[in-house]
Structure 1
Amino acid sequence: MAHPNAQPIVAVQGGGTTAAPTLLGQGPARIPTGGKIRAGIKVLTKKAAGEPKAQAIYEQGVAAGHSFEQIERAITKALPDLKTPLVPRNVSWFTVRAQDFPNPEIARAIVDAYGEDRGEGRRLYRFPVVFPSDYWQTVMPHELATWGTHEKHYWSQYSGDGRVRHCMCHAPVPVDDTGRRTIRLFGGRKTMIREDNGGLCDPESCREYQQRQCNLTGRFLFFIPGIRSISAFELHTNSFYAMNSAIQKFETVG
């Protein structure tokens, strides 16, 4: 894996995951994850940078290896008027923080193994990865989704061959014959193809996407050679171009 400014170093490991029937349903096995590597950083907004207290919390959090989510929560707790004190910034290296791993020593091991000092301290600019499946749908999961306060309202889902993108939503909660009591569901809320748009995910004609309510989120799931872990690592992205380019290269390698 490399920063967008460099060429990736990838390998595909073995076969893909197969669907197996279980009490909880039939579907592909999910790859467990045990840590995040992040592209880019977050910095203080212009307003937050003008607050000495916010500046101090930010610098202390970065020095301690805290995640940007933790730093942001600490700032908003201390300064409630700052609703969004941090904004993303693209940099040429990946962020590897101890707080993003259940075992903090893994972060140190990754930087020690593949980090480089290009004049700004030892940072992770690129690193090799091994994908644990030859199905890109498994190791590069992504979706377009519209979120409410607590849950997704609409989201994209590929057909079995990975070529048709459907628009999904939650099915109405069923009620009993009296019409007054909801039926207790087994396995969580049911999903269905969205009806008012024909069930197809077409961003150009989607009201939510055009109003910036629906956005792309995705992640890469991989192992890193030489780094001992029973769980995969993940790298999140909201870039269509990065995800699309990775899928094309993955299919070429596969």
Structure 2
Amino acid sequence: MASFLAEVVAQNNVAAGFSVSGKIRAGFKAPTKATLENAQAVEIFRKVQEGKMSFQQAANEIKQKTGISNPFYPRNTPHFHAHPWDMESGKIASDKLMKLYGEKRDNDQEPRLYRFPVVFPDVGRNGIDTILGSGLAVRGPGMIGYRSQYSDDGVRSCVYLPPVVPNADTKRKQFVRRQFVIRSVCDTEKCVEYATGACRFAGTLRFYIPGMSGAGVFSLETGSTQAASEIYLRLTSILQECGRLPNFTPDGSPVFYITKAKKPRVHYDENGVKKQGDQWVVVLETEIDLTKVRQQQERRLLAAPKAPQKVVLPSSWLQSDDEDYDDAGGQVYGAAPAFMLENAPEIAPPKKPLSDLDRLNERADVYGIRRKVEEWATMRYGEGWNASDKVNLVCENFFAIEAKFSVNTAQFLDLQILVQDKGIPYQDVALPYIKHKFGGFGTGETLHQILNHLDELLEQGADSAISVMKNEIP
């Protein structure tokens, strides 16, 4: 399936490395006619309504007890859904979300989630792909989880995780992570799963929700390529205009809101029949006036100090010989009468140069990563670094990192923060291991691979990760 997002992902091939605190669902699953006609299936579905089990768990149980293989079908709704089983904190989190942003509309008997504010993680100028991922995937019980994946050369392949084969290795305490196996080139025109609707597009938006505690982000998935593309283009436009994603207005109000709007879309009914009609689709609203942003940028450009221009007078005006006196009044022509110079531009005093710390903060703001820079500096150089003799060292190192990694500066800082936080010796262990394993830090894509690889090693603990690294260093 050729799409705008597919081309972007092909170029960047970015994998998001966020921990997830919860999922917001754009749609709902309704029981099929066969399910409603089966008393046992209805009883199981009631547990879903009470938040005691997920749709997936209910579908498995219904199939096992009644033989109904597809007990639910997707239903489009004007509101979002926050199920307890999708939340890290369970019902506590879902209830809190509804208390914060739930509202009653029309004939609602209870509050529903129609619109809520979001805050996006810090990203660089090319980082929209880290908060809005996309791809094709097969989902469903009893199905092989085929999915699309782009290689470094931009070729889209169909990949899957091989099944686990019981053998002597399964008795080991440390398991080797399964690697995706390439099935074939991903060509939707020749794909059986795509033709039957089993493989579909999925775009995943990642964000924080004001008022909701937790270290991880929330995610929202949409199956609409058009909706995901519109969100991507809107975020990219704002990022280009502002230099970063401004999450709050000057008065502290959120800039971004997620809601739904009715738009003509192709959809499938209960029987899988393709239809055309109005559907509620995910929309990203912004409380920011880009015309004012551009106006402020132009004002700053106009107000930027320019090199003072010297006023050059004709050379004949600067002569001071006796013959330059006027017989009538004795005025010296070379003296330049006052009325001729009163409107001449004044030479502005030289502007005080920015300190290294101010320059550091200014560059960090360009990428929208000031908090990350402060965390990195504090972790590496200790508390109070910005008020000590370490300031120059911090600034010097940051400018060197920025010069090397440019828009990928945030990713490299994440790497150093992770290594420092887990107590991995950087110079003696992490650096030589990365050079041996990846040939150095390379591009932004290599940094993503390094971060993901370190996360996998650290799943068994920092001591285990350090041991693995030391053993592989030549």
Q: Does TM, normalized by the shorter one, top 0.5?
A: yes
Say whether the 8 Å CA contact 1:159–1:166 is kept in structure 2.
no
Where 1:216 maps in the other structure, the secondary structure is: strand
Instruction: Call closer, same or farther: CA 1:147–1:125 in 2, change over 3 Å.
Output: closer
CA distance in 2: counterparts of 1:74 and 1:188, whole angstroms:
28
Residues 99-142 of structure 1: per-residue CA shift (max 9 Å, x gap):
21121211111110000012321110111111214322111111
Do the aligned partners of residues 123 and 230 (structure 1) sit closer, same or farther apart at CA in structure 2, a change above 3 Å counting?
Answer: same
Q: CA deviation at 1:211?
A: 5.3
* CA positional deviation for 1:70: 2.5
Preserved contact between residue 51 and residue 85 of structure 2 (Cα < 8 Å): no
Change (3 A) 1:107 1:165: farther
TM-aligned CA deviation for residue 158 of structure 1: 7.0
TM-score where L is the length of structure 1: 0.68
Counting only pairs closer than 5 Å after superposition, residues 1-254 of structure 1 correspond to structure 2 as 30-64=17-51, 66-79=53-66, 81-104=67-90, 105-118=92-105, 119-120=107-108, 121-134=110-123, 135-145=127-137, 151-153=144-146, 155-157=148-150, 164=154, 166-167=156-157, 169=159, 188-189=178-179, 203=188, 205-208=189-192, 209-210=194-195, 212=197, 214-254=199-239
Q: In structure 1, how many angstroms separate the alpha carbons of the residues matched to 2:228 and 2:158?
A: 21
Please state how far the C-alpha of 1:60 moved relative to its aligned partner.
Answer: 3.3
Deviation track 1:67-116 (CA, whole Å, cap 9, x = no partner) reads 2223323322331x111111110111111111211212111111100000
Task: State the secondary structure of the residue aligned to 1:94.
Answer: coil
Between Structure 1 and Structure 2, the one with more helix by share is: 2
**2:21/2:87 contact within 8 Å kept:** yes
* Structure of larger gyration radius: 2
Letter of the structure 2 residue corresponding to residue 123 of structure 1: R
When normalised by structure 2's length, the TM-score is: 0.39
- Give the direction of change, closer, same or farther, for the CA distance of 1:155–1:29 in structure 2 (3 Å limit): closer
**What code does the residue aligned with 1:78 have?**
K
Identity among equivalent pairs (%): 27
Q: How big is each residue's C-alpha offset from its partner over 1:154-184, in whole Å with a ceiling of 9 and x where there is no partner?
A: 6132758xxx5633547xxxxxxxxxxxxxx
1:248 partner SS: helix
* CA deviations over 1:35-67 (Å, ceiling 9, x no partner): 111111111101111112222221232023532
Q: How far apart in 2 are the matches of 1:86 and 1:217?
A: 19
C-alpha spacing 1:168/1:35, structure 2 compared with 1 (3 Å): same
Q: 1:102 to 1:252 in 2, by over 3 A?
A: same
Answer whether contact 1:43 1:89 (CA < 8 A) is retained. yes
Q: Distance in 2 between matches of 1:213 and 1:57?
A: 25
Greater Cα offset, 106-115 or 233-242: 233-242
Tell me if the contact between 1:65 and 1:97 (Cα under 8 Å) persists in the aligned partners.
Answer: no
For the residues of structure 2 that align with 1:54 and 1:213, how far apart are their CA atoms? Answer: 24
Change (3 A) 1:31 1:43: same
Amino acid at match of 2:95: R
Cα distance in structure 2, aligned partners of 1:96 and 1:151? 27
Q: Alpha carbons of 1:250 and 1:98: their partners in 2 closer, same or farther (altered >3 Å)?
A: same
Q: Is the 8 A contact 1:133 1:139 kept in 2?
A: no
List runs of 5+ in structure 2 lacking aligned partners: 1-13, 161-175, 240-474
Bigger RCO of structures 1 and 2 (CA < 8 A, at least 6 apart):
1
Question: Take 1:93 and 1:238, find their aligned partners in 2: how far apart are those partners?
Answer: 16
Give the unaligned 5+ runs of structure 1.
Answer: 1-26, 171-185
- Indicate how the Cα distance of structure 1 residues 192 and 46 shifts in structure 2: closer, same or farther if over 3 A, else same: closer
C-alpha RMSD of the superposition: 3.2
CA 29–85 in structure 1, closer or farther in 2 if over 3 Å, else same: closer
Aligned-partner SS, 1:56: helix
C-alpha contact (below 8 Å) 2:87/2:93 kept by paired residues: yes
Equivalent AA in structure 1 for residue 179 of structure 2? R
Question: d(CA) in 1 for partners of 2:68 and 2:15?
Answer: 42
Alignment CA distance shift 1:189-1:128 (3 Å): same
Give a deviation string over 1:19-40, Cα, whole Å, max 9, x none: xxxxxxxx86601111111111
Q: Which has the higher strand share?
A: 1
